Chain A
Amino acid sequence: MKKSAMLIALTAAAALGQQASAVTVTIACGSVGQELQLCKDGAARWAKKTGNTVKVFESPNLTNDRLGLYQQQLAAKSSDIDVYQLDVVWPGLLAQHFVDLKGKVPAAEVNANFKAIIAADTVNGKLVAMPWFTDAGVLYYRTDLLKKYGYSAPPKTWAELAAMAKKIQDGEQKTNKAFAGYVFQGKNYEGLTCDALEWIASFGGGSIVDDSGKITINNPKAAAALNSAASWVGTISPKGVTTYDEEPARGIFQSGNAAFMRNWPYAWALGQGEDSKVKGNIGVSALPAGPGGQPAATLGGWQLGVSMYSKNQDAAIDLVRYLTGPAEQKIRAIEGSYNPTIASLYQDKDILKANPFFGSLLNVFTNAVARPSGPTKDKYNQVSQAFSTAVSDVLNKKMSGGAAVAQLSANLARIKGRGW
């Protein structure tokens, strides 16, 4: 690591720096995987560079819970937290509480990022937050097991995945009762919305609500996608998959108890860690496609925004610029396999060496399907909950895919009410 060299350089920069009075800035960051540690490290580097102090606020793991907490803080105009980590679907919900970074962050720094993400972070011409890392669903597989059961490549379609997972599971269960073919995020929460949107989009079933705000979910392709996912539960996936979020799924895969896993890129670095039982045996590919469809990955990712109620806005903006800058994004990509949002970093040799799949899946990351948070505005959360609940009903065999999308469509009309 060239950390020490960099620290010296940064300290030197700080000595020449402009900030005279030191302040305390509080940042709220997530805690999935290595997020919290990397956030603390990055914040500490900034603190050392500028002479300020950073406090890290630990947020709940589930994104739904985090949003509820943040909204209460923001509605109360609390100045406790200066910098918030925002999910890619939140800028529309929270825009009014955040400082417009346009003009405060140099245009060149903003434009170095993927255009689609900057667009998602811009609400009514106001740049609510700076992209920190991007995310898209990918398929993890066990290279050793694929080889053992005579497969040379990861599955291209969901049907292939089901067949491969079944064969591997049947073979492995002879010695390991807890072995599962495929694990994903089946718990009823925002993560299920992401997973199910991938299935539906890859079957050609659209994206719940289209860009014009029309409810499009009630179609046979979407129903077929949900039915095929329901057929996995209890066959190639454990019945308990409907209680898993990101971390339980990773736990099972990383302890060597699953052949395939759908997850975000962060699971890569952890899977290659010293304590991982599947170290060196993991492959990453694009998610499978539905019949006649294209593979689809849901766009995820996190941004950093500065609260309007912050008492130290200048220092907070400086922290955001530092953390979202190329040097920090590179460290995060190498140590935690968090996808950079700065396009040029995808040619960086160190990053590609640590994450060989970043290059080959660049297409997946840049063409990921967005959740309908744009058209549904501040009702997105209700839409997402109605959707994940309907999907959950299908996975639990309470309803067929067709009945679920029909009922969901009526539900969404109810949520839309007088308009999005």
Chain B
Amino acid sequence: MTTITPTAKPGKQRGIEASRARTAVWLLIPTLIAIVLVAGYPLYRTIFFSLFEANLTSPDQRSYIGLGNFWFTTDEGVALGFLQDPKWWGAVQNTLLFTIVSVFLETVFGMIIALVVNSAFPGRAFLRTAMLVPWAIPTVVSAQMWAYMYNDSFGLVGRGALGGVALLANPTTSIWAMIAVDVWKTTSFMALLILAGLQSLPSDMYEAADMDGASKWTQFWRMTLPLLRPALLVALVFRSLDALRVFDIMSVMVGNVSAARLSMTAYARQALIDNQLLGLGSAVSIAIFIIIMVIVVIYVTAFRVKFD
């Protein structure tokens, strides 16, 4: 990444290429303007407001406090920055737990489902469609549905299977209950992506391996998994990004105030919307942006360095 190949000296006679490049720039300009307007400007405003103490109801009355939204201790020793708030770190911890566990389970189950659906058996087409049903239901609907099922006085799970246990009542059990919902919902998405990868693998390779007497287990570890890696990486990055931004499941199932202790985005929403702290909320959003970016960079570099 660090070495830059020296390019040929730009000569004036390379007319066609230069004019092509110019055309490309002109064609890109509308897109670039659109990106600046819809993504760049909000991002700029968020960074801008993260340096101010401002209220959502009157953004015009603001005062510059530098990085005070991130870290600030008053003369009386009162900590005001959100990085000094244990609730924020609790939310970060819970989001990471949610992401790691749910993405891991979704990958394992998704792989199993994909391998099953990839093999030939009667009713395969039906199963492939059926497995997408949980993913097709809007998250808000499925979250509410599961909240009812977990209910301890009439829920199918809470009353029926567990005999009156309120899983969502307790913060330590509610995170696991929500991980279960997320796994239930998005495993099929993972399976779909892995299935697409599986179908691009050449079948004659397996025939050769069968001839050579490699067991199915060896075939899976030595052939399928390495060849599947690019598809798997894309699926993992997608799912991890989604899981890090988790909001709707928690907001619907336990309410916004409790969700603020469970996920970073709900914490940001609480600061920004419930508490009208435009500056602090923006600062939290920046922090989430940075955390997600760092994780993506780690993902991408770690996988590339090893396997390219």
A interface with B by C-beta (< 8 Å): 62, 64-65, 67-68, 71-72, 74-75, 93-94, 96-97, 177-178, 180, 187-189, 238-243, 245, 248, 252, 257, 378-379, 381-382, 385, 388-389, 392, 396, 398, 413-414, 416-418
Contact = CB atoms under 8 A, between A and B. Distances in A.
Contacts of B295: none
A241 B169 contact: yes
Contacts of B151: 240, 243, 248
Interface string B137-180: 00000000000000111100011000011101111000000000
A323 B55 CA distance: 32
Contacts of A388: 257
B274 A243 contact: no
Contacts of B165: 239
A60 to B, nearest CB: 10
A398 B56 CA distance: 33
Contacts of A180: 153
A414 B78 contact: yes
A62 B251 CA distance: 12
A208 to B, nearest CB: 16
The 10 A-B residue pairs with the shortest CB-CB distance, nearest first, are: A240-B166, A240-B152, A68-B273, A239-B166, A242-B169, A188-B257, A188-B258, A382-B275, A178-B153, A243-B168
Contacts of B164: 177-178, 238-239
Contacts of B119: none
Contacts of B159: 178
Contacts, number: 106
A240 B169 contact: yes
A242 B57 contact: no
A389 B261 contact: yes
B257 A257 contact: no
14 contacts: A62-B256, A64-B255, A71-B276, A75-B56, A75-B59, A178-B164, A187-B255, A187-B258, A238-B152, A238-B166, A243-B151, A243-B166, A379-B275, A389-B261
B79 interface: yes
Residue among B57, B85, B165, B170 with the highest chain A CB neighbour number at 10 A: B57
Interface string B65-88: 000000000100011100001000
Given A67-B274, A178-B154, A238-B152, A75 B57 contact: yes
A242 B79 CA distance: 30
B160 to A, nearest CB: 11
Contacts of B274: 64, 67-68, 381-382, 385
A230 to B, nearest CB: 12
The secondary-structure label for the interface of chain A is helix
B78 A396 contact: no
A8 to B, nearest CB: 44
Contacts of A178: 153-154, 159, 164
Interface string B270-281: 100111100000
B58 interface: yes
B266 interface: no
A187 B257 CA distance: 9
Contact of A385 (B153, B166, B257): B257
A307 to B, nearest CB: 13
B254 interface: yes
A188 to B, nearest CB: 5
Given A75-B57, A240-B168, A396-B171, A378 B276 contact: yes
Given A74-B57, A240-B158, A417-B74, A392 B258 contact: yes
B74 A418 contact: yes
Contacts of A243: 151, 166, 168-169, 254
A396 B169 contact: yes
A252 B255 contact: no
Residue among A67, A240, A248, A382 with the highest chain B CB neighbour number at 10 A: A240
Nearest to B87: A389
Nearest to A242: B169
Contacts of A385: 257, 260, 270, 274-275
A240 B155 CA distance: 11
Contacts of A188: 254-255, 257-258
Contacts of A189: 255-257
Contacts of A392: 258
